[in-house]
A and B are shown apart, each in its own frame.
Chain A
Amino acid sequence: MDKGHREQEEENDKDEYGMATHSSILYLQEKTTVGRVMLSVNPFRDRICRVFSHNNLFSFEDVLGMASVFSEQACPSLKIEYAFRIYDFNENGFIDEEDLQRIILRLLNSNDMSEDLLTDLTSHVLNESDLDNDNMLSFSEFEHAMAKSPDFMNSFRIHFWGC
């Protein structure tokens, strides 16, 4: 019941990219430098806001927590943990095909996406990282894939305030 109500809310506020714009996210984007400068063009901004906020509210400590995860000095395991949470769109504890398709759609941001392309890419990702062949990535499989990924540490960071 609660979930249905939430989904309906989400249906009502979506911006031009189809992303949910909760009031907390709007607050973050408009009132804080972080939101305005850093997150305004990020395709995963709604997920970032959802993962780091509590009950759809942001406190200063939440922003601080977000900054510490995205900083250059954060350890890889912490980044991988939060990346997993961000990429888990349906929040079932796994990154399944539905999540992967949504990730790819967000990344490519194009209107003419053929089904073949999506399924091809999804199957390639699962081929590479799904070790127990259950068509989704558990946290350990995701961690294994990211530990071998050379670009992960460089991509998953935000430069805050010239530091």
Chain B
Amino acid sequence: MERREQRVLSRQTWLCLQPPSPPTRFLSTDKAQMSSSHPFIKSLSLDSSCFSSPPVNFLQELPSYRSIARKRTTILSRDKQNGTLLRPTDSYNFQLEGEITEDLDNQSIRKYALNISEKRRLRDIQETQMKYLSEWDQWKRYSSKSWKRFIEKAREMTTHLELWREDIRSIEGKFGTGIQSYFSFLRFLVLLNLVIFLIIFMVVLLPVLLTRYKITNSSFILIPSKDVDIQCTVYPISSSGLIYFYSYIIDLLSGTGFLEDTYLFYGHYTIDGVKFQNFIYDLPLAYLLSTIAYLALSLVWIVKRSVEGFKINLIRSEEHFQSYCNKIFAGWDFCITNRSMADLKHSSLRYELRADLEEERIRQKIAERTSEETIRIYSLRLFLNCIVLAVLAACFYAIYKATIFSQEHMKKEIDKMVFGENLLILYLPSIVITLANFITPIIFAKIIHYEDYSPGFEIRLTILRCVFMRLATICVLVFTLGSKITSCDNYLCELCGYNQKLYPCWETQVGQEMYKLMIFDLIIILAVTLFVDFPRKILVTYCSSWKLFQCWGEQEFAIPDNVLGIVYGQTICWIGAFFSPLLPAIATLKFIIIFYVKEISLLYTCRPSPRQFRASNSNFFFLLVLLIGLCLAIIPLTISMARIPSSKACGPFTNFNTTWEVVPKTVNTFPNSLQTLVYGITSEAFAVPFFMIICCFSEKELITGLREEYQYFLYSVMAEGARELSDISLIGALIPFVKATSS
């Protein structure tokens, strides 16, 4: 009985603080009940002093007020006597419809929790109400409705245009939302690369193609470079006498030979401008701006995508992000349609909840550690982290050595070498990177076992280390190349600023390295699928009598590894797009091929894992890793654009010291007022617009989240206080204080 009164109490407390507009019918029928059950309720006075404006206004700001206001209908329909849920077709129906029509102005009928026949009746009532409005209001309502309908239809149309919708839906149904989010992520990267390629095509390729194929009446402007030593402008295109057949294959795989002086690489665009009929198109500026544009677009799109769809609850720690409420109330995926998937979902929920409770227990155990144990653990962790750093340093050194070896031997007479040796030397950096990325996760997984973290943290730390390893290897490669380019025999590159003997057109050579990395990555993915996944499946299916294969088991789709693989590919694309304008198109094709290969591999060779990733968590993790990749890609690009002198023998920047110099030179040609304006904007911190973009997206959410949290916290404190003090008027006194501190 006590409990029942408490129940009534909390609901009534909430309801009583509603504004005076609820119809008196409701209040009068319940007044008798309210006053009879509890002394606290008796003291509630239902006159206007109870509904003085500060509490009302404060509570109207709470987000739940709106749902309560709308929900008045359903609250009414709960039977007070025995608490059962009344059907809306009962006698209260007429009353509640009357109330809804009072505030039908802005509410869409869709949001009401009623069944279809009631909603139809409401719509009729609303339409008859419309007749009593002025012409202007009628037209306003009609136009807003048709606009909403148009937007919905447009949205529906665009969802039909979504790429691979049916494939991803069926994967979701069979393997769960975690794996589906991987494929959605892959689709996002395909679209991103396509848009990047379109930008580069429009801005750089199109004018060149139009002029070269004489589609428009335009011509190239070639300004011979002055103040530059003639030796810097020499660019020997290697062409040897006897060409073996397989050299074409080598050229295709490594971007040398016949591919070197094509649209694929930077060196082909040795143009200083395009003269159209009415204006001169500044190609160097366009080239630089396209790079900045695609980097900025990628950043904005990734941030936007990570913010939409779910609230980043930055207030709470990572553990609460996967809260029990989320797992229990939103744990069952209502999309599941077949029995095996349902069994899998049950077992994964069992696993997840048990693992969470286990993690709590371990965390408690950790908190109860003695100081000696803590010292021992921390020193052990320090030692193991040093080992991790040593492993990373060893890998980086191996990559550095391999790159230098490969670069030095590439300059020799490659045609005279044996076919296999050729390819080995050309692909040596890629091979070493792939081997390092294969071995280090195994080492990290072994090491973290001894570090004695909680299971969730273990997984996250391992993934973080693997991410860093993968993405840092590219940076090491690029920096090795950079150091080779800027170091000459006598350690001073006075002549041209870079080593023009070995690298007459160094941007093209960097582009070639990126191209090789990309092609090799694709080959490895295809090879692993063909020569590891499928044989494994065949062996496990047909030779299951052998103990070895039984233990090995069928493959599971490892989401973190696959995601790292495609983020690695995307980072190469971002770095390489400056040095090789067609690289984003190749990346688009590569990701399309990977999508189909991975889909086939998943459907035919994988079994669903008992440990499932949650989609919300996955999305955030994928985009975070992608953002790390983007930041790591921007660093070598800015250094090469701003520090290393551009090649004088090829490319659009032969007349500039560095690539970035285009911008100041262009700004100097502006009229004076515009110049001062530009200097003014750039003298403010460049980070200001950057922060504004980030702020617009995330801080708004953060602040509303914080505000809600605070207000709900205060409400709960008030409710407790009210129960103890039995005096609602005291709450009225507290409200102004609460309001002042919460705004």
Q: CB within 8 Å of B: which residues of A?
A: 3, 37-38, 40-44, 52, 54-55, 61-62, 64-65, 68, 70, 73-75, 77-78, 80-83, 85, 87-88, 91-94, 100, 103-104, 107-110, 117, 120-121, 124-125, 128-129, 131-134, 136, 138-140, 142-152, 154-159
Contacts and interface: CB of A to CB of B under 8 A. Distances in A.
B313 interface: yes
Contact of B326 (A70, A82, A152): A152
Given A42-B334, A78-B110, A100-B328, 14 more contacts: A40-B339, A43-B332, A54-B87, A62-B116, A93-B83, A94-B7, A107-B332, A110-B346, A117-B353, A117-B354, A121-B328, A138-B11, A145-B329, A155-B332
Contacts of B218: none
Contact of A156 (B328, B330, B614): B330
A132 B716 contact: yes
Contact of A128 (B324, B333, B342, B353): B324
A146 B332 contact: no
Interface in B607-654: 614-617
Contacts of A93: 7, 11, 78, 83, 85
B503 to A, nearest CB: 50
A62 B616 CA distance: 31
Interface stretch (B62-70, B375-383, B514-522): B62-70
A149 B716 contact: no
B325 A149 contact: yes
A128 B470 CA distance: 38
B332 A42 contact: yes
A77 B326 contact: no
Contact of B615 (A75, A149, A154, A158): A154
A125 B82 CA distance: 26
13 contacts: A44-B332, A55-B87, A62-B116, A78-B111, A81-B113, A92-B83, A103-B328, A104-B328, A128-B325, A131-B712, A148-B311, A150-B616, A150-B617
B338 A41 contact: yes
B540 to A, nearest CB: 27
Nearest to A72: B159
B331 interface: yes
B720 A125 contact: no
Q: What are the 4 tightest A-B residue pairs by CB atom distance, in nearest-first order? A: A150-B616, A41-B342, A131-B716, A150-B310
Interface of B: 3, 6-7, 10-11, 14, 63-64, 67-68, 70-71, 74, 78, 82-85, 87, 89, 110-111, 113, 115-117, 152, 169, 177, 310-311, 313, 320-321, 323-326, 328-339, 341-342, 346, 349-350, 353-354, 357, 614-617, 708, 712, 715-716, 719-720
A146 B329 CA distance: 8
A75 B116 contact: no
Contacts of B152: 73
A44 B345 CA distance: 14
Given A42-B332, A70-B334, A75-B111, A154 B616 contact: yes
B719 A132 contact: yes
Nearest to A132: B719
B169 A159 contact: yes
Given A73-B152, A132-B716, A143 B326 contact: no
Contact of B116 (A61, A146, A148, A159): A61
A91 B84 contact: yes
Contacts of B335: 155, 157-159
Nearest to B614: A151
B730 to A, nearest CB: 16
Given A41-B342, A138-B10, A155-B334, A61 B115 contact: yes
Contacts of B338: 41
Nearest to B331: A107
Chain A binding site: helix, strand, loop or mixed by DSSP? helix
Nearest to A95: B329
A149 to B, nearest CB: 4
Nearest to B324: A124
Contacts of A147: 63, 311
B30 to A, nearest CB: 14
Contacts of B353: 108, 117, 121
Contacts of A154: 177, 330, 333, 615-616
Contacts of B614: 151
A107 B11 contact: no
Contacts, number: 182
A131 B715 contact: yes
A110 B328 contact: no
A37 B82 CA distance: 36
A103 B330 CA distance: 11
A151 B335 CA distance: 13
Contacts of B357: 117, 120-121
Contacts of A131: 712, 715-716, 719
A41 B345 CA distance: 11
A37 B374 CA distance: 55
Contacts of A148: 311, 313, 323, 325-326
A69 B64 CA distance: 20
Nearest to A133: B720
A94 B508 CA distance: 68
B304 to A, nearest CB: 17
A62 B113 CA distance: 12
B331 A61 contact: no
Nearest to B328: A125
Contacts of B354: 117
A68 B110 CA distance: 9
Which of B111, B325, B350 counts the most A-chain CB atoms under 10 A from its CB?
B325
A62 B115 contact: yes
B333 A155 contact: yes
Given A41-B337, A150-B310, A129 B712 contact: no
Contacts of B339: 40-41
Contacts of B331: 107, 151, 155
Given A54-B115, A93-B78, A158-B334, A134 B328 contact: no
B142 to A, nearest CB: 22
Contacts of A150: 310-311, 321, 326, 616-617
B10 A121 contact: no
Nearest to A48: B334
Contact of B323 (A40, A132, A139, A149): A149
Nearest to B70: A77
Contacts of B70: 77
B71 A151 contact: no
Contact of A140 (B14, B84, B616): B14
A64 B117 CA distance: 11
B68 A140 contact: yes
A87 B64 contact: no
A109 to B, nearest CB: 4
B325 A145 contact: yes
A95 B10 CA distance: 14
A61 B117 contact: yes
A143 B328 contact: no
A108 B356 CA distance: 14
Nearest to A60: B116
Nearest to B112: A78
A147 B11 CA distance: 20
A103 B617 CA distance: 23
Nearest to B4: A92
B64 A144 contact: yes
A93 B277 CA distance: 76
B436 to A, nearest CB: 35
Contacts of B115: 52, 54, 61-62, 65
Contacts of B10: 132, 134, 138
Nearest to A146: B329
